[in-house]
Structure 1
Amino acid sequence: MAKSTASANEAKTRRGVWALWSALAGIVSAAAFLAVAELVALLVARESSPILAVGAFVIDIVPQPLKEFAIATFGSADKIVLLGSLALAVVVAAAIAGILQFFARPFGVIVIALAGVISTAAIVTRTGASPLAFVPPVIGTLAGVIILVFLITRLRRWAGAAGAADVAAAADAVNPTTPAYPAAEQRGLGRRSFLVATGGVGLAAVIVGVGARLLNATSASVDALRRELRIPEPRSTVTIPDGAELDVEGISPLITPNADFYRVDTALTVPSVDPTTWRLVIDGMVDQRVELSFDDLVGMGLDEYAVTLTCVSNEVGGGLVGNAIWQGIPIRDILRMAGPQSGADMVLSKSVDGYTASTPLEALTDDSRDAIFAVAMNGEPLPLEHGFPVRMVVPGLYGYVSATKWVTELKVTTFEADEAYWTPRGYAAEAPIKFSSRIDTPRTGTPVAAGTVAIAGMAWAQTVGIDRVEVRIDDGDWQAATISTPINADTWVQWMLEWQAEAGTHYVEVRAVNKNGDTQVEERAPIAPDGSSGWQRVLVTVSA
């Protein structure tokens, strides 16, 4: 009895070992799938990277609450988290495919084929997919299937040569046509054959896949072009008035550095757009179609504009707000060249990656609103992740309806005829920014010493301006804070209130009043469908 139990345990151990080796074979096969697909994409359809296409597909279909959670939790790193999660899912699925192919042929092949179908569907349904977009994932799938069969065949020979009769019997029960295993004396040859094949294919997949991806993603060469690009001097510049920045530790800077400026978009990888081949097209309900090159655009003359941008995903008190000095050309001047026709009320802007935004035509043609095509940010060409070479900047509207990055097309149309990317996903077609305020310091969870404490933060009311900021402590009376001198009505202001803090825990609350005399909305609202609202309230611990 003891001998029988020991034999059973030994058999389980051997099956576990072969399962691990077969999982490795599956992972290497998936790597070959992706590597071949990347290589073919480089030759026939650069947009056809399977993992990026599936990632973009996931972004499109994931439920809105989950998107909001990802942005709130990971911020600009949400794309990295998604790619990491996809990579983990690929590894797990590939391992399962390898195990199934070893123990239960042909189910491993079916798993690889199913992955190919999913990636092909994700690629060919993307906006702007080329007629040959299906070729890379199809050829990649064939390569993955061939490599999986090739490696598992060698693994099964090794298993048979090693005397794994129980494994062979289990496999043969599912696959009666399994060929006879070689003699036990060929065990070393079988092991060597599998390991050499697996290692060779794996190394080749890494070299080919990484090389093709690097060549496919031309960000390095485009970044070099960006560094060498010389933006013409602006005809007019922004003047920072005295008193525009308060000297308070912990408060956000008046001008957000490019490296710290928030990034929220649907691009899984940053698009690489060569400014020498970039074109902007204006069509739709216009008197004449207009097409401009980058040189055409900057040749019209540039000006500086200070504008604070706000993401609709910004929670009350959140950090998805940034202020920059942009250099660009008024969009109204370009639209005037095309001649919008009567009846048009919306401009559908399109990014190089297929993203679209719906902006009221009036907001882009209003002489009192500085809606621009921006080509520079804080004194340098736009960073790649912020829309290089050209993006839109429209004061007073949330970014998802106005701030299209890597913009390539404006279609003059109507809200009735067209809808943008976020509209069918639960967001409003039109979305003016809700003015708001934020406490930067002190922060919840960071104790402060009793005595004079500076409560400070930011407030914004684009196109209208902030009139005053008020602070309340422990539900007491509202107190007027000192606010900085605004650059203009389109930028945020800093504010500060000195508080004689006593030991204990205290609630600090803030609200803003705009230049129209309107008080910031107290009622809390979620970010969908048109932006959050509410007063920020933080709990401050004061030590004795």
Structure 2
Amino acid sequence: MNRRTFVRGAVGGALALGSGGVIEALRRESTFGYDGIEVLGPGVERITPNERFYVVTKNLIDPRVVRERWRLELSGLVTAPRTLDFAALERMGGVDQETTLECISNAVGHGLISNAVWTGIPLGELIESARPESGAQRVFFHAADGYTHSTTLEKALEPTTLLATRMNGEPLPDRHGFPARLIVPGTYGEVSVKWIDRIELVDDDRQGYYEKQGWKAQRVHTMSRIDAPGKKSRLRGTTRIRGVAFAGDRGISKVEVSTDGGRSWREADLDYMPSKLTWAHWSLGWSPSRGEHELVVRATDGNGEPQETKKDDSVPDGATGLHRVGVRAEA
């Protein structure tokens, strides 16, 4: 059972019981809330509009942070701890970085994945300004909703790891972490903490919210998906098979499509992949013969490593397997 399935059932049960105690227990124990948006199908944009970007939360009610009251604390194993308000953060300027995020619970063929242009400052600049002590090994992040997560200090200092304040040219929407959130390429979305308010350098391997529940992804698995034609489509004449592929911060070097259930493969065109940090949009022209066909897609990451073909659930480190779509050609 994945996180989305669990919470749909649990929330319904808790609300039916109407017990404050039960709801509080659910708040403590449930792992995942999902607003119903999946970014998939023939209309997937290269840059996902803010209102269409997938949303995942552990909260029954998300926090509403007041910008003027927000503070970001840098603490722990540092020799110059500091606290910044939003005005100070804005004065530091920012860079634009297009980055794709994917939820660790995204199943094969599903749409808990989106792409945006984020504006923020490299997290490493903030951390270095607090002067980390030599014993610091990891960074533990705290958020306004009580959420926590950690990553290595090395990952936090990578120049592509951002503290973002804008999304597609606009201030972060509340549901996406206003006033500031992390963007951590090469990791699943759970590491890109929303509503962040404290950054703590530590020398131990303490676990965050999802880590305590057993989720332990080390890197994003290579994924690929067919967006068009859809399942059970009836086709006439030449068509163009389209979809997306993603491999964290490794990029995509190749996408291949089979129209006969995996017996033979053709290389697709990579129509869009501005950097290794984003998904690739791919397409392939096809003139099918009359009858039933099974479409399959597979991708190879920028390091030359092929996508895992064995189908596995997302628990505990992300889903693997190939996406398959059955269609019928009528002429």
Superposed pair shares fold, TM > 0.5: yes
Shift of 1:484: 1.6
- CA–CA distance in 2 between the matches of 1:336 and 1:85? 47
Structure 2: 5+ residue stretches without partners: 30-40
Taking a change above 3 Å as real, the CA distance of residues 432 and 125 of structure 1, as seen in their structure-2 partners, is: closer
* Aligned-pair CA distance for 1:83: 5.5
Distance 1:312 1:120, change over 3 A: closer
Correspondence for 1:67: 3
Are the aligned partners of 1:251 and 1:456 in contact in 2 as well (CA < 8 Å)? no
State the shift of 1:125 in Å: 8.3
CA contact (8 A) 1:250 1:440 kept: yes
Query: Quick one: which of 338, 346, 368 aligns to 2:130?
Result: 338
**Cα distance change, pair 505–351 in 1 and its aligned pair in 2 (3 A):** same
Q: 1:121 to 1:457 in 2, by over 3 A?
A: closer
The one-letter code matched in structure 1 to 2:196 is V
What is the rounded CA distance, in whole Å, between the counterparts of 2:211 and 2:155 in structure 1?
18
Question: What's 1:406 paired with?
Answer: 195
For residues 270 and 27 of structure 2, the distance between their equivalents in structure 1, rounded to whole angstroms, comes to 53
1:443 equivalent to 2:235? Answer no
Give the corresponding residue for 1:533: 320
Letter in 1 for 2:109: G
Equivalent residue for 1:462? 248
- In the aligned structure 1, how far is the partner of 2:26 from the partner of 2:295? 50
C-alpha separation in 2, matches of 1:316 and 1:122: 31
Q: Distance in 1 between matches of 2:67 and 2:296?
A: 47
* Equivalent residue, structure 2, for 1:88: 16
Aligned-partner Cα distance in 2 for 1:500–1:471: 13
Which residue does 1:210 correspond to in 2? none
Question: Contact conserved, 1:397 with 1:431, CA < 8 A, in 2?
Answer: yes
Code of the aligned partner of 1:472: S
CA distance in 2, matches of 1:315, 1:123: 23
Verify: 1:284 aligned to 2:76, yes or no: yes
CA RMSD, Structure 1 to Structure 2 (Å)? 2.3
* Paired residue type of 1:89: L
Alpha-carbon separation, structure 2, partners of 1:410 and 1:298? 18
Q: Which consecutive unaligned segments of at least 5 residues does structure 1 have?
A: 1-64, 72-77, 91-114, 127-248
Residue 525 and residue 350 in structure 1: after superposition, are their counterparts in 2 closer, same or farther (change >3 A)? same
Give 1:69's aligned amino acid: T
In the TM superposition, residue 374 of structure 1 has moved relative to its aligned partner by 0.8
Match of 2:143 among 331, 335, 351: 351
Work out the CA distance in 2 between the residues paired with 1:277 and 1:296.
13
Give the superposition deviation at 1:542. 2.1
Report the Cα offset of residue 120 of structure 1.
11
Structure 2 counterpart of 1:457, which letter? G
> Which is richer in helix?
1
User: What does 1:149-164 correspond to in 2, within 5 Å?
Assistant: none
Q: Secondary structure at the match of 1:276?
A: helix
* 1:390 aligned residue (180, 186, 192): 180
Query: Which letter does structure 2 place at the counterpart of 1:410?
Result: I
Tell me which residue corresponds to 1:305. 97
Cα separation, partners in 2 of 1:267 and 1:125, compared to 1, 3 Å: closer
Distance 2:244 2:103 in 1: 15
- Structural mapping, 1:11-410, within 5 Å: 65=1, 67-70=3-6, 85-90=13-18, 118=21, 250-367=42-159, 370-400=160-190, 402-410=191-199
Whether 2:200 is the aligned partner of 1:422: answer no
Aligned to 2:259, which of 458, 470, 473? 473
- Distance between the aligned counterparts of 1:426 and 1:332, measured in 2? 28
Answer yes or no: is the 8 Å Cα contact 2:309–2:322 preserved in 1: yes
- Give the Å deviation of 1:327: 0.8
1:68 deviates by 3.8
- Contact 2:219 2:248 survives alignment (8 Å): no
1:371-400 superposed Cα distances (whole Å, 9 cap, x missing partner):
111111111111111101111111111111
TM-score (norm 2): 0.90
Report the Cα offset of residue 328 of structure 1.
Answer: 0.7
- Inter-partner Cα distance in structure 2 for 1:298 and 1:530: 35
Q: CA deviation at 1:351?
A: 1.0
SS at match of 2:69: coil
Asked which structure has the greater CA Rg, the reply is 1
Q: How many residues align?
A: 319
Label 1:269 to 1:514 Cα distance change in 2 as closer, same or farther (>3 A): same
In 2, the alpha carbon distance for the partners of 1:498 and 1:529 equals 37
After the TM superposition, list the runs of 4 or more consecutive aligned residues in structure 1 that deviate by more than 4 angstroms.
81-85, 119-126
1:66 CA drift (Å): 5.8
Q: In the aligned structure 2, how far is the partner of 1:124 from the partner of 1:311? A: 20
Residue of structure 2 equivalent to 1:495: 282
Higher RCO, 1 vs 2 (CA within 8 Å, ≥6 residues apart): 2
Contact in 2 for aligned 1:251/1:457 (Cα 8 Å): no
Q: Is the 8 A contact 2:148 2:209 kept in 1?
A: yes
CA contact (8 A) 2:62 2:145 kept: no
Q: What amino acid is the match of 2:177?
A: G
In 1, the alpha carbon distance for the partners of 2:287 and 2:46 equals 26
The alpha carbon displacement at 1:85 in A equals 4.7
Partners of 2:58 and 2:167 in 1: CA distance? 21
Superposed CA deviations along residues 36-55 of structure 1, whole A, max 9, x for unmatched, are: xxxxxxxxxxxxxxxxxxxx
Is contact 1:298-1:329 (8 Å) kept?
A: no
Task: Give deviations 1:415-471, integer Å, cap 9, x for gaps.
Answer: 53x11111221211x53111211110111133222x211111001123221111101
- Structure 1-normalised TM-score? 0.56
Match of 2:37? none
Identity over aligned residues, as a percent? 36
Contact 1:468 1:481 in 2 (8 A): yes
Deviations 1:196-251 (A, max 9, x none): xxxxxxxxxxxxxxxxxxxxxxxxxxxxxxxxxxxxxxxxxxxxxxxxxxxxx915
Q: Residues 511-522 of structure 1 correspond to what in structure 2 (within 5 A)?
A: 511-522=298-309
Deviation for aligned residue 1:341: 2.0
Residue range with higher mean Cα deviation, 437-446 or 339-348: 339-348
Deviations for 1:84-140, whole angstroms, at most 9, x for unmatched residues? Answer: 6533322xxxxxxxxxxxxxxxxxxxxxxxx56x379759989xxxxxxxxxxxxxx
Structure 1 SS opposite 2:154: helix
